[in-house]
Chains A and B, each alone.
Chain A
Amino acid sequence: MSEKAEGSILYLDEVSVSFDGFRAINKLSLVLEPGEMRAIIGPNGAGKTTMMDIITGKTRPDSGDVLYDGKVDLTTLDEAGIARLGIGRKFQKPTVFESHTVEDNIELALKARRGTWATLFHRRSRSEQVRIDELLQTIRLSDKRDLLAAKLSHGQKQWLEIGMLLAQEPRLLLVDEPAAGMTDAETAETAILLKEIAKTQSVVVVEHDMTFVRDLGVKVTVLHEGSVLAEGPLDQVSANPKVIEVYLGR
C-alpha cells in the first residue's frame, strides 16, 4: 500500500475489473481529499457506475487497492459494512422504499444501530424525531411526510433519496446522476444543495449534464474506457484535445 493513501478519504490505485473478458475498469487511480467534492464525467460505458460499485462493495476488483480513510481496505467488506463505515450512495435511478411513508424512509436511513435485535426493539427517541424533522425540512418534504414514497414525483424521489443519504451522516457521499430527469430549476437547486453538503462532507458526483457540473464548480475527472483520461478544472479539461475527441467522436 502506497504512502500516497495517507490523509486521503478515498484512494484507488491501479484498480482493474473485467466482466466476461470486457475490461470495465482498467488501472484506474483516483485520490480524494477529505472535504473535497469531485465531479466524474465520461461517455457511456466509461466505467463510472462500475467505479461506484467497486467503492461500495457491490463489485470486487480483480486487482488494485481501494482504501477508505487512508487505511481501511474496502475490497474485503460487504455493502452493509462499507455503508456502516460512513460511505453513502445515491443511485442513478431514484430508489426509495415505495410502500413506506416519506418519514419512515428517512427513519430507516437515519444513523442508528443496524443490528437485528437493535431494530427489533428500537423506539424512536426525541433526538431522532428532531433529526427527522430537520432533514424533511432540508429536502422540503415536511408536508409530505405521511405520504407513501410511491406517490412522490420523480424530482421529489430524488430529493428524498438525498435526504436518506444525509440521514446516514456519511463522511463520503457517492452521487450518481443526481440531476437526471429533473427540471432546470430543480437541477439548479440540487447543485446548491450538493455544495451545501460538500462543506462538511466529501462528495463524488457522477454526472452527464455539463451545465450542472459547471454549476458545481469543482475539480473534474474524465473517465474513458475504464481509466482516467484527464483531471482538472472543467475549463481546462474541456479544452483538452483528447477529451474533445472522446466526446465528439472520431
Chain B
Amino acid sequence: MLTYWLTNGFDRKAQIVTAVLVALAIVVPLGSLLPPDDSVLHISTYQVTLFGKYLTYALLALAVDLVWGYCGILSLGHGAFFALGGYACGMYLMRQIGTRGVYADPVLPDFMVFLNWKDLPWFWYGFDMAWFAFLMVILVPGLLAFVFGWFAFRSRVTGVYLSIITQAMTYALLLAFFRNDMGFGGNNGLTDFKDILGYSIQSPGTRAGLFAASALFLAFFFVVASALTRSKLGKVLVAVRDAESRTRFIGYRVEHYKLFVWTLSAVMAGVAGALYVPQVGIINPSEFDPAASIEAVIWVAVGGRGTLVGALIGAVVVNFGKTWFTGMLPELWLFALGGLFVIVTLFLPTGIVGLFARLKSLRKPPVAPVAVANQSGGAS
C-alpha cells in the first residue's frame, strides 16, 4: 500500500528535485570542508549557512503551497507554525548551554536567572533531551493547527475570513511571546547557542551537517507532498479548492480533508523552523510577525502556486533577491517585494513555473503531437 503510494508519487518532477537536493546535500558540505580556504571550489561557512537558510524557507513555502495551492486555504499565519518549531528547537539549544551561560546556572537559561526565577517552568522540562525536543517540534505546531483547524473548518470559515483569523492567530502569538513572563525570553528570544547534539554549533562541520539535514528533510517532505497530491486524496483537495460545496454533495467530508492537510502542513512548517534556528543562531518573536507569513505566500505566488516545485524555486529566488537587495538598497526592499507581488499577480498568475511551461509549449514544434504524447506517457 505504502510502496504503491510512494512510487505513484515519485514522478519525474519528484525524481529531479530529490536528485538535486541529495546532490546538494553531498556537494556543498564537501565544498565547504575539503578544499583549502583560498581555492575557487571552496564554499564559505557563511554561504553554507545562507543557502541552508534558504532551504528551510523552501520547506516553509512547500507547506504553504500544500494548503493554498492544492486546497485553496490561504494561510497568512504559517509563520506561527514555523516559529513554534523554531522555539521548540531553540529551547533544546538553550538547555545545552548549561554552565557556559553568563550566569553559569546549570539548569536555568540566562534570561530566567536575570528575571530572578528560581525554578525551571514546567513547559521547559524534557527539552534537555534531543528526542523530546524533536517530538515537540512536530507536536506543538501540529496540535495548534489541529485545534485551530477543527474549529475553523467545522464552522465552515473559508476564504478571506479564514485568512484573517490565521493572521490574528500569529499576531496573538507574537504579542504573547513578547512578554517576559511567558518564559520564552521575551523580546530577545533565545540565542547564544553553543552545541547541537554534542557538536559545536559554530563549527564548519556542524554548519555543513545542518545544511545537509535541511536538504534531506526538504527532499523527504517533497516526496511526501508529491505522493499526497498525486493520490486520490490530492484530487479531492483540488476538488475542494475548485468547488467546495460540490465536493460535499458527492459525499466527502470537506472539513476532515482540510484538517488533515492543514495539520500536515503545519508540521512541515514546524520542522522547517527547527532547522532554521540552529543555522541563524537565534529565534525571537519577530518570526511571528504577520509580515513574515505574508512573505511566505509571496514566495509561493512568485514560484507558481499549486506546483510544489514552484514553492521551492520561489522561496530560493525571492530570498536570494532579498539578500542581494538588502545588501545594496536596504530601504527599498519592501517596495521591491510589493512590486514583485503586483507584477506576478497581474502578469504571471502561474508564477515562474508557469512561465517556463508556456515558453516550452511555444517552442514545441506543432507537427509532432503524437511523439510528444508518447514521450510524456512513457515518463509518467
Contacts and interface: CB of A to CB of B under 8 A. Distances in A.
Interface stretch (B102-110, B171-179, B238-246): B238-246
Nearest to B246: A95
Contacts of B2: 121
Contact of A98 (B5, B242, B254): B242
Given A98-B242, A119-B236, A122-B232, A108 B250 contact: yes
Contacts of B248: 78-80, 83
Interface string B246-270: 1111111110110010000000000
A116 interface: yes
A99 interface: yes
A190 interface: no
Contacts, number: 85
B182 interface: no
Interface in A111-156: 114-116, 119-124
Contact of A109 (B8, B250, B256): B250
Interface in B45-85: none
A168 B243 CA distance: 17
B5 A121 contact: yes
A97 B231 contact: no
A98 B246 CA distance: 12
B18 to A, nearest CB: 21
Interface string B306-338: 000000000000000000000000000000000
Given A97-B243, A97-B246, A108-B239, A83 B251 contact: yes
Where chain A touches its partner, the secondary structure class is loop
A212 interface: no
A126 B231 CA distance: 17
A56 interface: yes
A183 to B, nearest CB: 24
B256 A104 contact: no
11 contacts: A79-B249, A80-B254, A88-B249, A97-B239, A97-B242, A98-B242, A120-B5, A120-B233, A120-B260, A121-B1, A122-B232
Interface of B: 1-2, 4-5, 8, 228, 231-233, 235-236, 238-239, 242-243, 245-254, 256-257, 260
Nearest to B253: A80
Given A88-B250, A97-B239, A116-B260, 18 more contacts: A56-B249, A80-B248, A80-B251, A83-B249, A88-B249, A95-B246, A97-B243, A97-B247, A99-B242, A100-B235, A108-B235, A119-B231, A120-B228, A121-B1, A121-B2, A122-B232, A123-B8, A168-B251
A107 interface: yes
Nearest to B373: A146
A100 B238 contact: yes
B239 A119 contact: no
A107 B275 CA distance: 39
A225 B248 CA distance: 28
Q: Could you say which of A78, A79, A96, A124 has the most chain B C-beta atoms within 10 Å of its C-beta?
A: A79
Contacts of A56: 249
A-B pairs, top 8 by smallest CB distance, nearest first, are: A83-B251, A122-B232, A79-B248, A120-B233, A119-B233, A119-B232, A80-B253, A95-B246
B233 A116 contact: yes
Nearest to A90: B249
Nearest to B259: A116
